Structure 1
Amino acid sequence: MNKLIFLQANATQPSDWVLFFGHFHPLIVHLPIGFLLIAGLLEIDRLTRRNSVSPHTITLILFWSAVSATMACVFGYMLSLGGGYDTETLNNHKWEGIGVAAFAWIAWAVKSENLGRVIPFAQLMYLPALGVSLLLLLAAGHQGGNLTHGSDFLTQYAPGPLRTLAGLPSKQKEFKAEPITDVNQAMVYKQIINPILQTRCVQCHNADKSKAGLRLDSPEMIKKGYEDGPVFVAGKSSTSEMVKVCLLPEEDDHHMPPKGKSQLSEGQIALLTWWIDQGASFDKKVSELAVNDAIKPVLASLGGSGSTNASSGSGIAAMGPAPESPVLTMKVPAADPKVIEELKKTGLLVLPLSKEQNQLEVSAVNARTYNDAQAALLPKLSNQIVWLKLGETDISDATLAQLSKLKNLQKLHLEQTKITDAGLKQLKGLANLEYLNLYGTAVTDAGLAELTNLKSLKTVYLWQTKVTAQGLATLKKTMPKLDVVGGIDEQAVAAFAKANSASEKPDESKKN
């Protein structure tokens, strides 16, 4: 049944070709605007100043305005098939755009005298047709702005006197997050989660603009979800759309926030994940939820730590934020500029992580075809590379043999690559590795066993891998302080560990 629904949903989706051409609509739509305005200004100049303007010139301008307006309509329709727009506003914009094209063709037909041969007195239609096309152009442009930027995009920053004169409502105050003085007493949704949504998501998911039918501007709307269902599943961040879309490649059409917008930081994604895993409550404080070791430094960075009941297992320790990793304060020799240029030629981004310590962050975010052969250059910067992002590239286990030489590596992204359990064996020499992202890989329980060799490891991401509850329970038993994000549900792991522990206890009746 689920498979059938999935196939039906895909059948209604436009093809990549349709969406590709549809995205040219914002470019094409400026052509009829320019052509029609020029034609209108020339006619006004001719009528008011009696200047002689070549009829052929205006006819040519009108022809291309009609052609470009028609193209804009076609590409606009293709773009609309992607969804995510307010239906009423979209329909108004569509018919106004069609009207612009239709009246532009009429104005051209009259001006070129083609229509006059068929309809007597057609010349009387010219100025009205041109005027209507210009009025519809303004209306369509306004509705297009509403679709893209929201209904108040023109008046959002209008000064007070203009607002009063136009009868507009008072300007809404910009969202300001409530300061956190004691993070343990902070309201999780109101002071931590809502500010993330307000600054990263609400721009496209609000009362005026609700892409995919989703609003994130209030608890009621968040609980309502979007056109395909709930946006989160309480207790299960790994199956919640709110988290999954943030983890998609930035180039993916479904990635949120869209490419070009301010993206969520790793800390913000971690907070959303933690909030959902803890039940997605809208009325609880931090001290009322379980706080794992991975989320403690993220929460502590939000404000004062305050006091806490250490025995409760919840809240942030009074000691405040976790100390900075030793490797981040370690000074290393400056990297060879020639080697940096070699890496850049393979498509990698090489960014200074710390100019004082000469440490580097290397990222393949713009090099999706990065492969094992190119990875052979990485050991040339074995001292300097501290953060390495190779997610969603063509690397395999062969690359991990090269990464084993990066002795100061602290963060490693391998999500959605071809690495396997065999490759993880190569990482055992990375004494400073604290963060490892294995999301979407073929890693199994055998690979998890290799992680026990990474004594500094603090966080590992295991969404959509092949690990089992048994494998995770074994790993947590060996590395109790390791924070595992994603993978099997924590309750399933706990249940398995409990059952396994019970099976190991001797039967008291037999003992007696």
Structure 2
Amino acid sequence: MFKNFLSKAFLENLVFVWLGFGLIFTLAENQIVLPEWLQVMGRLHPMILHFPIVLLLMAVVLSFIPKNENTSPIKELLDYVWLFGLNFAGIAVLAGLILSQEDYSGDTLDLHKWSGWAVFLISTGLYFISNLSRSLYKIGTLTLTLVILLAGHWGASLTHGEDFLLAPILKETQSQPSLADAEVFRDVVQPILQSKCLSCHKEGKTKGDLRLDHLDGIRKGGKTGPFILAGNTEKSLLTQRIHLPLEEKEHMPPKEKTQLTDEEIEILTEWVKSGGSLDQKLVELPSDEPLFELVSQRFEPSTSYDFEFADQSVISSLNNHYRRVEPLYPESPALIVSYFGISAFEPSSLEDLRIIQDQMIQLNLDKMPLKGLDLGFLQNFKNLSTLRLNFTDLEESQILQIGKIQSLTSLSLAGVKLSEGSIKALQGLENLQNLYLWQSGINQDQQNLLQSSLPQVNIDFGFDDTAVIYPLNPPQIKQDKTLFEDSLEITLSHPIKNVEVYYPLDGTMPDSLAGSLYQKPIWVKSSGKILAKAYSKGWISSPANSAVFMKSGSSPLGYRLLTSPSPNYKGSGATTLFDRVKGKNNHTSGEWLGYTSGPASIEIDLDESKGFESIGISLLYHESAYIFPPERVEIDIFENGVWKKLVSEKPIQSTQILEIRSELLTYSLKENSPQKIRIKLYPIKSLPGWHPGAGAPGWVFVDEILLN
């Protein structure tokens, strides 16, 4: 038996088995749903592929030995090397096709897939068409060798990143940017993502539909939510995953990968807290912000200061409850001085600064009462480059004194009214680079004159909003719960007095003519949706705020799922739809059924004697996670022994990405006495062109069926 198993005929026939299976998986890869046990075979691909590489290259080497008789030992060995190489190549191709369905995509995947196929087909041809001329045979084997190398290169790029093979010799030495030029994302955050996250989230391999190899992918996020939400570490996918325990399945990076250091976790967390900017410079962060303190020491200072350090005891003596003196960055001799609290300000305290006049490069006096003070002493601060005097009510004589401080490169005078003489004084600041003059009261001609006389200066005149009418904020809607049994109280409020709030309860858009004016709490006893808008004279009406409310209703006699939800979003099966537990606004909470490859189909048995009047379907919408309204809703009822169509409609589709929210679709059952109801919710087949994931399939998420 063992001899038959290893016979040439058996091994030759086995090659065509792998060929057949491979063609099936290639031609129908979008239609095949793989069971979990078969995915194990796919994950063996990286291990299996080494066998055909070695065996086929060995066959190539043996092929160059002078041709012997067919019965010779070398010929026999060559045939078996070819056959084992072919079979392992077929298995590797099949395993690779299975593995490719796990979050792999892109040009690199296509190159690796088709070059792998080419290896299998070329080597098969070389074995079965052995009567080729010696020269053609050698060309074929050399071609096979080249294709094996290319397939291996593209496979390594998929696993380890682009140009993995040549990276050591192509790597260029990058100079470290200065502190002034360093950017938070480019020079601090991105290197961490590249070293610890990019292998699973890049072109060719996009686990969770998340790509981190370009900015659009970072802005878009993944299928489970946004990668970063500015300032929100709880809802940002990045900070959620890196803080999970290592044994958690969703912990990132996966436990088999190199983990983030404590410092890297802290940097990424503080980056999200600070706003998650993709283009902010490091020096734009406040010097006392944790992120700045964490990473500023990595960069060379933007300016080399040749003056001596101030004595630490002197700096300590200057610090008090209304004044802070601190270095520009750790271990820098340059000092920044800031004043706080108008009531605590002592004009004489400015004289205290003379002791650090050589080290002070920035003085912040925003909103301090400086009117009438002699500021001429600042001319002795020869390294003072930044002066902030916003809303300080300075007089012309004081502006003339400031105009003599030639060391200034940045001057802020927002909220300070400037006279003709003040404007002329500013024109003498030859080293100025940035000038901020918001609400300074100068007209367009004066602005043009100042800009023409200081062409090298970036002047920010701010925005004149005196003629602008602003929109109101949406009113606030408060309700204790979404799902209620008997009745529910809803209250509306707005922070601005004399604002009128209008609302309807049928989900239509309110206005000041047709809507109901809110005057007291609203009590509702049936399911619906409230939209509320605020109106006031002299303001633009607010955007609408909305909330759904759902009456739990009666329980059915029985229910069953006719189609299975996604294994990742299967809740508690059909029970999820009738447990009277409203799902959280988070599709991963375990309280939702999610469908993407086919419709959600539910059949319900009813007690006819209860006389149901409506049926409600509670849904989740979250466009950034590909969760859209159903493309189509179908409801059939079984009545008098016959199934008939009750509803077939296309709900209004999303036209932009909005906040995650619950929605309710309600349909009337009046004039019907069904014994059974069958509901089908079809997910959108292809996301619209405006969506970052255009063309990808969408999802439908449902958590409750309400019978009233």
Q: TM-score, normalised by structure 2?
A: 0.33
Give the structure with higher Rg (CA). Answer: 2
Structure having the larger proportion of residues in helix: 1
Structure having the larger proportion of residues in strand: 2
Q: TM-score, normalised by structure 1?
A: 0.44
